[in-house]
Amino acid sequence: PRYWLIGAGKGAGRWDEFQKNGEVRLGYSSKTALVGDVSGMSRDEIADIVTPEGGNAPVNDILALYQFASEVEIGDRVFVKKGRSEIVGLGVVTGEYRFEADEPYALARDVHWLASGDWLIPGENMLPMKTLTDITSKHDLIEAMLPLMIGSDDVVEGAGDAEPYTLEHAQAGLFLPPEQISAIVSALKVKKNVIL
């Protein structure tokens, strides 16, 4: 999965609403009007809508709108940030992009929230200021955030209800015969590592 960092309004003011409704939302208004449904639009088409006449293109906003509608996928992980040093939630995207014109944050996706809390990012990691950021390649940042939430008392009820991953699941996606997979699992239990 890809990992995304998203804001929830000023001071994460919309986080409670996101959590209650099992969703994450993105909103943007240009100086002239609310941006409409960006489904299927290219970045250039979005830029044409949100760039003020004679002004500079809001590059980060254009990218956020495009990625939210076109690149975020079901199964991706979403961290909700508060400011530049705090995380308040972690979830898994469960729904396709949708547009709800009557909402100020009109772009939405359903999310199964796994954890909720107030976690300060350790060390000198500072979170990006952008509203939506793909942090999949930021391994140090992800590795700093995930341990804060794993085993947390604030993990949302039902977060561990996922179906266990069994040998049958592994066999369906591998080119190895069942006997060889069983031998590898046995070796892992004894030696704690396997070279494939």
Where b means 16+ CB within 10 Å and e means fewer, 80-101 reads: bbbbeebbbbbbbbeeebeeee
Structure tokens of 10? 């000023």
d(CA 106, CA 175): 44
- Going by C-alpha positions, the residue among 122, 119, 133, 98 that lies closest to residue 3 is 133
- Across 26-30, 74-78, 146-150, 161-165, which has the greatest mean pLDDT? 74-78
Give residue 188's pLDDT: 72
Over residues 178-183, mean pLDDT: 80
Give residue 48's pLDDT: 86
Name the more confident of 60 and 190: 60
Give residue 126's pLDDT: 82
Name the more confident of 191 and 81: 81
d(CA 172, CA 105): 41
β-strand 23-26 against 107-120: which pairing, if any?
antiparallel
- Across 54-58, 93-97, 127-131, which has the greatest mean pLDDT? 93-97
Confidence of residue 133 (pLDDT cuts 50, 70, 90): very high
pLDDT at residue 79 above 60?
yes
Over residues 125-135, mean pLDDT: 88
Give residue 173's pLDDT: 67
Give residue 154's pLDDT: 44
Structure tokens of 123? 């060390």
Structure tokens of 136? 């999949």
Over residues 110-116, mean pLDDT: 94
Confidence of residue 155 (pLDDT cuts 50, 70, 90): very low
Dihedral sign for Cα atoms in the order 158, 159, 164, 170 = positive
Q: What is the pLDDT of residues 83-99, one digit of tens each?
A: 988 999 999 999 999 99
Give residue 158's pLDDT: 42
pTM for the structure as a whole: 0.72
Q: What is the DSSP string of 73-112?
A: -TT-EEEEEETTTEEEEEEEE-S--EE-TTSSS-EEEEEE
d(CA 87, CA 103): 25
Q: Per this entry, what is the length of the chain?
A: 196
